[in-house]
Amino acid sequence: MKLLNKKSDQQLVQAYVKGEEKALQVLLERYKTKIYSSIYHQVKDQYLAEDIFQETFIKVINTLKAGRYNDEGKFLPWVMRIAHNMVIDHFRREKRTPNIVNNDGFDIFEVLQFSDDSVETKMVKDQRDVDLKKIIQLLPDDQKEVLIMRLFCEMSFKDIADITEVSINTALGRMRYALTNLRKMIEENNMVFQFG
């Protein structure tokens, strides 16, 4: 096992493909915290994160055993991309948006200005929140993905760029387009949101 620990990711993948089961265990130990943390930050649920983490490694194992891994020495970004896709698939299956509040307490709905906290106003606000979530689902996939990862999952634009395999400028551009499109759709639907 000590010899395996000294090997590069690429060498470990090759060893695993050739039948050395412990090579995958070394890779898993090497990156499990980083991969699990990334999943957890996106789903905000320990048990769900563990399930997606396991699904991710089942896919990794199946891909490696089938000989479909393109060996470019970029094991971690490849696994992170698989994990990210599993999270997106989960949210698509659930047909829901992840929690809208990040650790700083920023809520996308705080950009909407409401003056009164009466029961009637709260009901109107709740309906607006539902409507806004529906509109977010109408965004093009690349824009929705960046918006969800940035606002809902608290990911940096660098991480978003790495996971989606685009430049930081492209990720920033997609976020800008997403916000512009949100405003446009809100206006088209005659909704009375006011962005701060």
Q: Which residue has the tokens 């943390």?
A: 37
**Could you give the CA distance from residue 71 to residue 136 in angstroms, rounded to a whole number?**
37
Residue 112 pairs in a beta bridge with: 195
Q: Which residue has the tokens 């960046």?
A: 146
Q: What is the pLDDT of residue 155?
A: 72
pLDDT for res 56: 93
- Of all residues in the chain, the percent with pLDDT exceeding 90 is 18
Residue whose C-alpha is closest to residue 183's, from 175, 172, 194: 194
In order, the DSSP letters of 42-107 are HH--HHHHHHHHHHHHHHHHHHHHTT----SS-HHHHHHHHHHHHHHHHHHHHT-PPPSB-TT--B
The mean predicted confidence, pLDDT, of the chain is 78
pLDDT for res 106 = 44
Q: How confident is the model at residue 114 (pLDDT cuts 50, 70, 90)?
A: very low
Q: What is the mean pLDDT of residues 65-72?
A: 80
Confidence band, pLDDT 50/70/90 cuts, at residue 91: confident
pLDDT tens track for 34-68: 888 888 877 888 899 999 999 999 999 999 988 88
Indicate if the pLDDT at residue 117 is higher than 60: no
Pairs from 60-68 (Cβ < 8 Å, separation ≥ 24): 60/24, 61/24, 64/13, 64/16, 64/17, 64/24, 65/17, 67/17
Give strand pairing partners of 141. Answer: none
3-state helix, strand, coil in the chain (%, to 5): 70, 0, 25
Those residues whose C-beta lies under 8 Å from the C-beta of residue 72, and which sit 6 or more positions away, are none
First and final CA of the chain: distance in angstroms? 56
Banded model confidence at residue 141, pLDDT cuts 50, 70, 90 = confident
**pLDDT at site 22:** 92
**Quick one: pLDDT at residue 59?**
92
The confidence score (pLDDT) of residue 85 equals 85
**Which of residues 147 and 96 earns the better pLDDT score?**
147
* Mean pLDDT calculated for residue range 142-160: 78
**What pTM value is reported for the model?**
0.52
Q: With 0-12 CB in 10 A as exposed, 13-18 as middle and 19+ as buried, what is 126?
A: exposed
* C-beta atoms surrounding 193 within 10 Å: 18
For residue 196, what pLDDT is reported? 36
Give me the mean pLDDT over the 11-35 stretch. 91
The per-residue pLDDT for 194 is 45
> By the 8 A CB rule, do 131 and 192 touch?
no
